[in-house]
Structure 1
Amino acid sequence: MTPILLTVYPDECDAFGHLNQASFLSLFERARWEMLRAGPGMDLFDRTATWPAVRKTVIEYHAAAFPGDVLGFEQDLTHVGRTSFTMRQVARRARDDALVATAEFLFVCVNRQGRPVAVPQEFNEFMAARRRRAGEVHRLTVNGVSLEVEVRGDGPALIFIHGFPFERSIWAHQVAALDGWTRIAPDLRGMGHSDAPDLGYNMETYAADLAALLDLLGVDEVILVGHSMGGYIAFEFLRRWRDRVRGLVLVDSRAEPDTVEGKRNRDATAATAREQGAEALAETMLPKVLGTSTLDGEPATVERIRAMMAATPVSGIVGALGAMRDRQDSTPMLPGLAGVPTLVIVGDEDELTPAAQARAMADAIPGASLVVIRAAGHVPSVERSVETTDALLAFLESLP
């Protein structure tokens, strides 16, 4: 997002020539008003008979600023509730990009009688549009957890839900290539660069995180693209917010729950992660998640996937394993997905979710189509990225 540029003047500085703390607050506020002036107008809150009252402020000062310095201020929402929102602002010195200060402001919207009222929809839409245009990586807080999410483009929305134990970069090719769509790719809680709490992992929570994220981004309707565990999350999202789902893509996923043996294996894998760390898990899983064509002929891809798994926080690993172990059986809901355009993608060398299983799932969903990606294992979005993107694009172009 384009920063708001403000100049430091002598009357804003203390006896030693430093920009003083009170003036910093004024500059942060001026930057917010300048942002509105360049967008929906500084009278936005007057028009909606709403006022954003500051309830809490946290500021951290990183470097001094002096008269004549030009500071660039960036603004972004990190949380939106019904009557409140949190805005993060960053100030950098324009000449050398040095970080000068960061701040978080918690606002509560009130009416003229001082009573809490809803955050104006026009403000939410303006901030969401700025974020989509920026095509940047953001940290957004949902359900008390900070998630890292990449947002690119404009148009109908896709949300890419990665599997276990990966992060959003498995979708890098698809996110980069699908122009004409708003592409949303978060790191799930406990994975990638998102927060990894010790507790709070189940399919319901993962799905609720995504719903809250879409709310924060101003997205009402979305196409779910779920890989492996991401498919399980997509099923849970459908259970709770089917009216928000325009389409469904399941990549190397399945509808059945874990067997008794599968549940035991989840617990054993969690114990390994606790005792030996994520690297031990990565070494064990590597030959299972990649196809033989990749393992034998693409060492760079093998190392990329190994490093990605080895970097996953142990708390996130253990939490995800428990969530997968305890997930519902989604098989009964498949016939009821009539009316939800669905694509099933699977690698022909996938041993975790074999092509025959994917074919049976596609057959059970009315109108679903199946694409088998050749020479790919469990992660075709990485192993055969072009072919996976092509299959996804053909599906998107077929949507009404």
Structure 2
Amino acid sequence: MSSIHFFEKGSGQAVVLIHGFCEVGAMWEDFAEELSQSFRVLCPDLPGFGKSPLSKPQISLEETAVMLEEWMEEHSIQDPMIIGHSLGGYVALALLELMGSKIKGIGLFHSTAFADDAEKKEMRNRTIQFLKKFGAEKFVSSFVPPLFSEKHWEEFADEIEKATQQARQSTLEGLIAFTEAMRDRKDRFEVLNNFQGPKLMIAGTEDGAVKIEASRQQKTAFTDYVELEGTGHMGMIEQKERTLEIVREFCEDID
């Protein structure tokens, strides 16, 4: 029996929405509600986040992909379209490498197929040191607001608070384990580039976590590439209506 906790809505073609770092599956509630009118939408909690337990102190993206593949088999989720935000995009790419043509389409939401460069790896190491010294609560409070474009902080104060509350469902062990997993992940650009199915990237021009320059370097690998002007790392909130329509049209075109 899979230990992956999830919620689902709707029926038909499966669409799996994978949350990012310091997030939970419930972040996709609005998207799931809308998309469920046409699709079977499933939103898992990754191990160590929300209600999915982390069974050991270290986990790789490859191991996470195997767990999700087993979860999909258990729940008869076949030929899914997989869309991941940030860390969820890294997991989606690991699933793509594992499952290949069993995946019908893939979407990266403020994510990248590139591995971390030296500067980013050092930032991950500092994050791990901070978590071990100060704990999850202090980290979460400082981590979430900068995910949004600073000019949107006042406008989205309630949404930032909600995202912070959801982030508090992250375990210290999960935060450390996945910071290590992100730091050590391999480059999967060729995996992405060689995939013949539909591929979507949504990027924010003011994304502090995944720089727009890196997104533009990968543009040719995607069948659908969209930039959100003046948007940070949380386009599904900062531009909810537009990004929901982009994802809906992407899924409908595949289906």
Aligned to 1:266: 124
2:97 paired residue among 233, 239, 250: 239
Higher relative contact order (CA 8 A, sep 6+): 2
Partner letter of residue 205 of structure 2?
D
The question of whether the paired residues in 2 share the 8 Å contact of 1:171 and 1:382 is answered with: no
How far, CA to CA, are the matches of 2:12 and 2:169 in structure 1?
33
Aligned to 1:286: 144
Residues 1-400 of structure 1 correspond to what in structure 2 (within 5 A)?
79=1, 141=2, 146-178=3-35, 179-337=37-195, 339-365=196-222, 368-399=223-254
Measured after TM superposition, the shift of residue 220 of structure 1 is 2.1
How far, CA to CA, are the matches of 1:293 and 1:181 in structure 2?
34
Partner letter of residue 372 of structure 1?
E
RMSD, matched Cα: 1.6
Deviates more, 1:372-381 or 1:151-160: 372-381
How far, CA to CA, are the matches of 2:199 and 2:127 in structure 1?
32
Deviation per residue, 1:368-391 (Å, 9 max, x gap): 211223443112122322221111
Measured after TM superposition, the shift of residue 208 of structure 1 is 0.9
> Structure 1 residues 311 and 275 mapped into 2: Cα distance closer, same or farther (>3 Å)?
farther
How far, CA to CA, are the matches of 1:216 and 1:241 in structure 2?
15
How far, CA to CA, are the matches of 1:331 and 1:345 in structure 2?
16
Describe the SS at the equivalent of 2:84. strand
Describe the SS at the equivalent of 1:280. helix
How far, CA to CA, are the matches of 1:274 and 1:147 in structure 2?
25
The question of whether the paired residues in 1 share the 8 Å contact of 2:6 and 2:45 is answered with: yes
How far, CA to CA, are the matches of 2:56 and 2:12 in structure 1?
36
How far, CA to CA, are the matches of 2:140 and 2:230 in structure 1?
21
How far, CA to CA, are the matches of 2:210 and 2:70 in structure 1?
30
Partner letter of residue 195 of structure 1?
P
The alignment's TM-score, normalised by the length of structure 1, stands at 0.61
The question of whether the paired residues in 1 share the 8 Å contact of 2:145 and 2:160 is answered with: no
How far, CA to CA, are the matches of 2:146 and 2:55 in structure 1?
27
Describe the SS at the equivalent of 2:225. strand
How far, CA to CA, are the matches of 1:242 and 1:332 in structure 2?
12
The question of whether the paired residues in 1 share the 8 Å contact of 2:203 and 2:228 is answered with: yes
Describe the SS at the equivalent of 1:349. coil
Identical amino acids, percent of aligned pairs: 25
The question of whether the paired residues in 2 share the 8 Å contact of 1:163 and 1:227 is answered with: yes
How far, CA to CA, are the matches of 1:325 and 1:354 in structure 2?
16
Partner letter of residue 169 of structure 2?
A
Partner letter of residue 323 of structure 1?
A
Measured after TM superposition, the shift of residue 309 of structure 1 is 2.2
Partner letter of residue 276 of structure 1?
F
The question of whether the paired residues in 2 share the 8 Å contact of 1:160 and 1:186 is answered with: yes
Measured after TM superposition, the shift of residue 200 of structure 1 is 4.0
The question of whether the paired residues in 2 share the 8 Å contact of 1:197 and 1:316 is answered with: no
Measured after TM superposition, the shift of residue 340 of structure 1 is 1.1
Partner letter of residue 319 of structure 1?
A
Measured after TM superposition, the shift of residue 258 of structure 1 is 1.2
Partner letter of residue 391 of structure 1?
I
The alignment's TM-score, normalised by the length of structure 2, stands at 0.93
Describe the SS at the equivalent of 2:11. coil
Measured after TM superposition, the shift of residue 282 of structure 1 is 1.7
The question of whether the paired residues in 2 share the 8 Å contact of 1:281 and 1:310 is answered with: no
Deviation per residue, 1:291-321 (Å, 9 max, x gap): 1232132210121122222331100001101
Deviation per residue, 1:21-42 (Å, 9 max, x gap): xxxxxxxxxxxxxxxxxxxxxx
The question of whether the paired residues in 1 share the 8 Å contact of 2:81 and 2:251 is answered with: no
The question of whether the paired residues in 2 share the 8 Å contact of 1:170 and 1:381 is answered with: no
Q: Aligned residue pairs: how many? A: 254
How far, CA to CA, are the matches of 2:186 and 2:9 in structure 1?
32
Describe the SS at the equivalent of 1:226. strand
Give unmatched runs, 5+ long, in structure 2. Answer: none
How far, CA to CA, are the matches of 1:383 and 1:278 in structure 2?
25
Partner letter of residue 119 of structure 2?
E
The question of whether the paired residues in 1 share the 8 Å contact of 2:89 and 2:109 is answered with: yes
Measured after TM superposition, the shift of residue 204 of structure 1 is 0.8
Give unmatched runs, 5+ long, in structure 1. Answer: 1-78, 80-140
Measured after TM superposition, the shift of residue 273 of structure 1 is 1.2
